[in-house]
Structure 1
Amino acid sequence: MATTDDGTRTPFREEVRSAVTARAALLVTGVLGLMVAFITSYAGAFHHPRPTDVPLGVVAPAQTAGQLVTKLDRLPGSPLDPRTVASERQARQQIADRRIDGALIVDPRGTTDRLLVASGGGASLSQALEAVVRAAEKSQQRTVRTVDVTPADRGDSRSLTSFYLVVGWCVGGYLCAAILAISHGARAANGARAAIRLAALALYAIVAGLAGAIVVGPVLGALPGSIACLWGLGALIVFAVGASTLAFQSLLGIIGIGLAILLIVILGNPSAGGAYPYPLLPPFWRAIGPALPPGAGTWSARSIAYFRGHAMTGPLLVLAAWAVGGTLVTLVLSVFRKRENAEEGQAAGRTA
């Protein structure tokens, strides 16, 4: 027991209740749940990567193309999703458009074929594709020579800079929103205050987007591509994540920060296609990745860096949806909260 100022003893149970409140215990339990979810999500996504339905173009003579596609399609575990392509030129264009991840160019006059890959879209995927095709070719007494048509930049080890850049932008987005909420209440008291928070977030997003693009570009030389395009992408990612976090806080208070961490960090990062692109991830993570900001951002950053901005419409719409949705929810709930506060004030005035 502890002793109070007047000399009386406080029961140990009361000391525990004072030291760890029910609210604190609930929050700690939530943190424990997030920790377990973090371990489960990352270990589940990364513990056994294997290729599944990797889009592969096949350029071969007409009389053998169909048979070869059928054999590749029936490989154990379905690692490939092969389809015939009319020419090597078309195959290279489809790789550049991010419609396929590689192409097998069959030499009808010899036994050595070529495999076109694009390590700029993910080195681990290119290596996995090469391993599968080599094994398939070996079973047919043929060999394959790999040609990287879109290699990762020298300063971009294993094409991971895009992923780390986007992770940094996402972290900046939800931390900025959390600080804005902690400074004066998780839920904005009225529409004006919510609008001010969103405006401050927008200004921060513009600066953060530029800072990230400059660091990975001119400063480190870690990522090629347009600085202006990366800047715009970064600003959109930061604002989308920040606005969503503000919306979660408007709905749930401080617990909304935990929800943002769950979606962005615990579910979003391992499913983003960074360390392992989508075809190497288990079905659950492959399905949710493109719909979350880290996945949409990583895909877009790689498109800017290595694929001339191709195949970005869908990911940009995803990011825009998070940004617009977060903004609308934050503003609408702040208006309702203002009305509730006004009604509570009127009721208090009548009972006084």
Structure 2
Amino acid sequence: MLLLQTAFVLSCIGAFRDPVPHRIPLAITVPTTQIADDAFYQLALLPGEPVNPLRVTDEAAAVDQIHSRQVDGALVLSRSGNEDLLLVAGGAGPLLAKELATHVIVSERRQGRTVRVQDVVPIAPGDKRLLSSFSLVVGWCFGGILCGSVQAWGAGRRPAGSRASVTTGVLLTYSVVAGLLGSLVARTLLNAVPGEFWALWALGSLLVLAVGALTFALYELAGALGIGLALLLVVVLGVPSSGGVYPTELLPTFWRAVGPSLPPGAGVDAVRSIAYFHGAGAGGPLRALSAWAAGCAAVILLSGGLASRVRPPAPQTGRRP
């Protein structure tokens, strides 16, 4: 436990101590070739590559790419005059929008231009800094670990032949109820996380199932050590790299690389897609969670079947006639 605690402190501090933007995708409209080229190259040559500029035809195309989560913002260059328009998406992360605006403003000043910032995907009043969305995901992950750990604790009391099927059934039932209750609290009771209720419920159920199945599958493979491995993946590595505190584009290389593939990161990304982008961009995170759930469920079922085959017969205590 001390090792996990120390590792969690190390992971959090390592991820959060120096947030630096890295290649934030930004659409740039093309009113005239000269202006577009100047803006494009000024942004592309910023030290550290904080912005990844991409050309689009007009403002409508730029807005469409923001809402489809292909880019995190758009610089709409003025056809006449020196004042441009920067479109940002607070729903993708307010810190991300702030960093994007900071670097665009610096680049525009170098060209003698000014920029006006407009948020086209504002955050819901009850989801300041997207902390309600992040808290919902953390709660679901905690529930999955708790359910998987309880199942592991009771696994030795069940017959080997039925352990896998009973555990899978309990995990499925718990996941559905946990997804429902989390959505009711966050979406209906507190009105903190917007988006389609049924989509949030389905996502929560899948996330809880993935984390619960991961916890029990690692227990089946490594015993009590497996619970620690689950905590390492989900809490120690998963929470700091999830993008819930700092957006993924602001994290150091290691956390930026592992975050989207771990359950917390996939959950945070999917919740934001459902809450603020009508589900756009949720496909990748949902596939990642489905892979975790299906792969770990397969491990549980296979290990349960193997255990029932290799378990020795009960000793005969009665006398022979």
Same fold (TM > 0.5): yes
Q: TM-score, normalised by structure 1?
A: 0.87
**Structure 1 residue 340 corresponds to structure 2 residue 314:** no
Q: Which is worse superposed, 101-110 or 88-97?
A: 101-110
Question: Is the 1:122–1:160 Cα contact (8 Å) retained in structure 2?
Answer: no
Contact 2:75 2:85 in 1 (8 A): yes
What displacement does 1:335 show? 1.7
- Superposed displacement of residue 341, structure 1: 1.7
Counterpart residue type for residue 332 of structure 1: L
Residue 109 of structure 2 corresponds to residue 101 of structure 1: no
Aligned counterparts, 1:225-264, within 5 A: 225-264=195-234
Question: Does residue 297 of structure 2 align to residue 327 of structure 1?
Answer: yes
Residue number among 111, 121, 135 corresponding to 1:150 in the alignment: 121
Look up the match of 1:206: 176
Superposed displacement of residue 66, structure 1? 2.8
Residue 62 of structure 1 corresponds to: 32
- Structure number, greater radius of gyration: 1
**Measured at CA, do residues 191 and 316 of structure 1 come closer, stay the same or move farther in structure 2, by a change above 3 Å?**
farther
Q: For 2:260, which of 290, 296, 306 is the aligned residue?
A: 290
Q: Would you say 1:130 and 2:98 are equivalent positions?
A: no
What is the root-mean-square deviation in Å for CA atoms of aligned residues? 1.8
Residue ranges of structure 2 left out of the alignment (5+ in a row) = 316-321
CA contact (8 A) 2:155 2:163 kept: no
Query: In the aligned structure 2, how far is the partner of 1:226 from the partner of 1:191?
Result: 40
Match of 2:141 among 144, 166, 170: 170
When structure 1 is superposed on structure 2, of 133-142 and 300-309 the one drifting more is: 133-142
8 Å CA contact 1:113, 1:142 repeated in 2: yes
User: Amino acid of the residue matched to residue 122 of structure 2?
Assistant: P
1:159 Cα deviation after fit: 1.7
- Mapping of residues 11-30 of structure 1, within 5 Å: none
Residues 136 and 182 of structure 2 are in contact (CA less than 8 Å); yes or no, is this contact kept in structure 1? yes
1:301 to 259, 268, 271: 271
Contact (CA 8 Å) 1:223, 1:305: kept in 2 or not? yes
Task: State the one-letter code of the partner of 1:260.
Answer: A
Which runs of structure 2 are paired with 1:20-59 in the superposition (5 Å)? Answer: 31-59=1-29
- In the superposition, the TM-score normalised over structure 2's length comes to 0.95
Deviation at 1:77, TM superposition (A): 0.9
Between the two proteins, what is the percent identity of the paired residues?
Answer: 46
* Contact persistence 1:189–1:334 (CA under 8 A): no
- CA–CA separation in structure 2 for the residues paired with 1:190 and 1:87: 63
Unaligned residue ranges in structure 1 (runs of 5+)? 1-30, 347-352
Is 238-247 or 63-72 further displaced after alignment?
63-72
Structure 2 residue 75 is the aligned partner of structure 1 residue 73 = no
